Amino acid sequence: MELDENAKKIIDSMAKEIAERSVKALRCCRERYEVGMDVDPVLLNRVIANCRVVFLAMYSPVCPYCELFYPIFVEVGRKYSSYAAFVRMNAYKHPEIAMSLGVETLPSTAVIIDGVPRELLVGYIDGPTFESIVVETLRKAGCIEQ
């Protein structure tokens, strides 16, 4: 069974689009990390070295708003894990990192682009708001289409 020219063009176009998306994703995050995993400073440095965009959720195990935000962080993170890393760090175990990011309230999520903290999202954020921030950040970083 032979494909007509139109079908071949459509298939070629779709294949090219999928390949371009894969290349763009690799350019933004060379290594995939488990969404929501706890990191220490050494692992955080590795994540930052491998991903253009990192969302770092600073939390405490005794913070109720941190626990409320965590499922949202993971849900949104899973949708965009091909383009960015979504990891978290216990601010009580690593206060030097929290202080260097300007964290005064938990939860706080640092947005790190090209190794530089660009924004600190303070407090609990609902799902749609967090997702829109993620999308806008990924667009600015050139990881997803405008």
Q: What is the CATH number of the domain that holds 47?
A: 3.40.30.10
Chain segment 38-81, per-residue pLDDT in tens? 999 999 999 999 999 999 999 999 999 999 999 999 999 999 99
145 found inside a domain:
no
39 found inside a domain:
yes
Nearest to 80 by CA among 142, 144, 16: 144
13 found inside a domain:
yes
146 found inside a domain:
no
Q: What is the pTM (predicted TM-score) of this model?
A: 0.83
Q: How many domains does the chain have?
A: 1
Cα 105 to Cα 18: distance, rounded to the nearest angstrom: 41
Domain ranges, residue 120: 5-140
- Evaluated on CA atoms 55, 58, 62, 63, the torsion sign reads negative
24 found inside a domain:
yes
